[in-house]
């Protein structure tokens, strides 16, 4: 739970870990931080983010200024794809997270990052969750993918495969890239909500960029505290949907007998767009942990 959010601290979460957003309790300073982040990211994302991201921002009126009121967002979002955004105190258990997704509820933190440390996050905040994730939930195929992922996550508990499902989420929903007619673009929320990684993921020569492969991703570890060493690229959101409706049980059965892959690895069979130099990681990465994420 964020230490500096008394509005969160004063509430007792429901059984599904949800709390009230209490939008009217945000301060003018907190609204100003959102607006600063929004305006900065909109400049950085020109020619970098997927067009569906910009479309989603417009459909939900997230450009009105200040922290969005989930009551107003949900009026629009539920009509578009049946999704709603719910507030939680912070990170929640995997089963509850999957349950929310499987029922077309996206969980968001209430707090917003420190205005003096715009690029440092101890855990995902409302800007990451809403600006980064929610716009794509206006797109029917991606909205269906997220629900299918939630259902798959619940089933993974039967196979002790949470680690593998977490990798799929990380390399698609959080840090995915997509090919478009205009060029490669960002759709992952962890990138679109980060000024520095929006540039690094597409333009740096350091990371690998490899085409999406479900089983390969489930074998691949990731960096949670720095820029990614590999980004996976899809051709369409339909590609994600088709892969997610596959029965994962045979994959789960194979994975224990296969080598785990490091974040920087390339292997035979990879469809490689960019074989990265890995110079950034070899130089030690960020000077301060998660400084620019």
291 is in an annotated binding site: no
User: Cα 212–80–242 angle (5° rounding)?
Assistant: 25
Handedness of CA 262, 178, 155, 151 (dihedral sign): positive
Closest listed residue to residue 279, CA positions, set 225, 204, 210: 204
Upper half-sphere CA count for residue 283 (Cβ side, 13 Å): 11
Tokens 């955004």 sit on residue? 85
Q: Annotated binding residue at 53?
A: no
With beta carbons less than 8 A apart as the criterion, state whether 221 and 66 touch: no
Binding residue per annotation — 174?
Answer: yes
Judge whether 123 and 91 are in contact, CB under 8 Å: yes
How many whole angstroms separate alpha carbon 139 and alpha carbon 172?
Answer: 15
Sheet holding 177-180, edge to edge: 183-186, 177-180, 230-234, 208-211, 272-274
Task: Give me the residue label for tokens 């004063």.
Answer: 10
**Bridge partners of 50?**
none
- How many C-alpha atoms does 94 have within 13 Å on its Cβ side? 17
Place of tokens 């269906």: 144
Mark out the alpha helices in the chain (DSSP H runs). 6-9, 28-44, 51-59, 70-81, 94-102, 126, 140-156, 162-169, 189-192, 195-203, 214-218, 237-244, 249-254, 279-282
Binding residues: 128, 133, 174
Binding residues for Fe cation: 128, 133, 174
């Amino acid at each position: 739970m964020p230490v500096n959010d008394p509005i969160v601290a004063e509430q007792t979460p429901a059984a599904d870990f949800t709390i009230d957003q209490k939008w009217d309790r945000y301060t003018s300073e907190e609204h100003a931080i959102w607006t600063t982040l929004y305006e900065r990211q909109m400049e950085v994302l020109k020619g970098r983010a997927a067009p569906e991201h910009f479309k989603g921002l417009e459909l939900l009126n997230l450009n009105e200024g200040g922290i969005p009121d989930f009551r107003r967002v949900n009026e629009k979002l539920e009509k578009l794809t049946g999704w709603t955004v719910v507030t939680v105190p912070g990170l929640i258990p995997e089963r509850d997270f999957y349950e929310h997704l499987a029922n077309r509820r996206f969980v968001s933190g209430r707090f917003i990052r420190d205005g003096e440390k715009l690029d440092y996050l101890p855990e995902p905040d409302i800007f990451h969750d809403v600006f980064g994730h929610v716009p794509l939930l206006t797109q029917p195929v991606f909205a269906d993918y997220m629900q299918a992922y939630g259902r798959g996550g619940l089933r993974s508990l039967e196979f002790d495969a949470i680690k593998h499902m977490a990798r799929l989420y990380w390399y698609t929903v959080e840090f995915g890239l997509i090919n478009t007619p205009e060029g490669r673009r960002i759709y992952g929320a962890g990138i679109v909500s980060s000024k520095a990684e929006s540039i690094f993921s597409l333009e740096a020569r350091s990371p690998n960029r490899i085409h999406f492969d479900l089983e390969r991703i489930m074998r691949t570890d990731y960096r949670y505290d720095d820029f990614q060493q590999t980004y996976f690229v899809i051709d369409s959101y339909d590609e994600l949907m088709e892969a997610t409706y596959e029965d994962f049980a045979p994959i789960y059965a194979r994975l224990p007998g296969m080598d785990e892959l490091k974040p920087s690895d390339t292997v035979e069979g990879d469809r490689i767009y960019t074989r990265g130099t890995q110079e950034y990681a070899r130089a030690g990465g960020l000077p301060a942990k998660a400084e620019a994420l």
